[in-house]
Structure 1
Amino acid sequence: MADTKTQVIQTYEGHPTYSCLKCAAVITLQDELISKAFSGRDGRGFLMQSAVNVKLGRREDRSLLTGVHTVADVFCLGCNERLGWYYHKAADHMQKYKEGKYLLEREKLVKENAWVLDE
């Protein structure tokens, strides 16, 4: 059964964001970045405090580099692209800081800035 945690926000006008590479839906503010020193399935990953315009897949126990975690894959609401995963629970007490956070894969995101260019 799919987890029902879904958040939708249309825009973060004036704030730097990360957006879905495939459909350009805003996924998170760059200010939500906790760490760039993570690994995803397909390369480097970002640990993020929060994400929007995403839906979660089903929970499962997954053996990751830092041990077993209960996670759910994260999918873009705009195009259903898998973007990473959400940490529900960590077995190791040293990994508890990840609980409630998102691992988003760098290769699935576009970094959008809020620059205004003079014409």
Structure 2
Amino acid sequence: MGLLFVESLPDQELFRCGLCEVVIASADAIMSTNFTGRFGAACLMDRVVNTTSSQTETKQMLTGTYDVSDIHCSSCQQLLGWRYDRAFSEDQKFKEGKYVLELSRVVKHGW
């Protein structure tokens, strides 16, 4: 197995993986805090780092049908949320390429 490359962020307010504390996202990437995930409160994020994605699946959610991929911490593989790959409804297209970060799976640093 090779070395793990971990990207860092220059920001002071960060989300880190709740298990291994690798950096996942900056507070500046928050687009909305009005989301709910599998494990409770969640945020819609513009960008995340140090994650891997699963295969895309089509899922029916409260706001419509989407193609989504689960995202995991690239260091410890903890499930962190999902990425919207495709929205089937025109009014939900703004979510494409964005991430939902489960707040119970991360810790806040510098807040």
When normalised by structure 1's length, the TM-score is 0.85
Runs of 4+ aligned residues of structure 1 deviating over 2 Å after TM superposition are: 11-15
Q: 1:23 is matched with which residue?
A: 20
Q: 1:112 is matched with which residue?
A: 109
The letter of the residue matching 1:23 is C
Match status 1:36 vs 2:33:
yes
Match status 1:61 vs 2:29:
no
Q: CA deviation at 1:62?
A: 0.6
Quick check: 1:8–1:54 contact (8 Å CA) kept in 2? no
Measured against aligned partners, the alpha-carbon deviations of 1:46-86 in whole angstroms (never above 9, x if no partner) come to 00001000000000101111111000000001110000000
Ranges in structure 2 where 5+ consecutive residues have no aligned partner: none
How many angstroms apart in 1 are the aligned matches of 2:45 and 2:26?
Answer: 9
Ranges in structure 1 where 5+ consecutive residues have no aligned partner: 1-6, 115-119
CA RMSD of aligned residues (A): 1.5
Q: Percent identity?
A: 36
Q: CA deviation at 1:30?
A: 0.6
How many angstroms apart in 1 are the aligned matches of 2:66 and 2:21?
Answer: 29
How many angstroms apart in 1 are the aligned matches of 2:34 and 2:10?
Answer: 28
SS at match of 2:77: coil
Question: Which one has a bigger Cα radius of gyration?
Answer: 1
SS at match of 1:58: coil
> How many residue pairs align between the two structures?
107
Please show how residues 43-58 of structure 1 align to structure 2 within 5 Å: 43-58=40-55
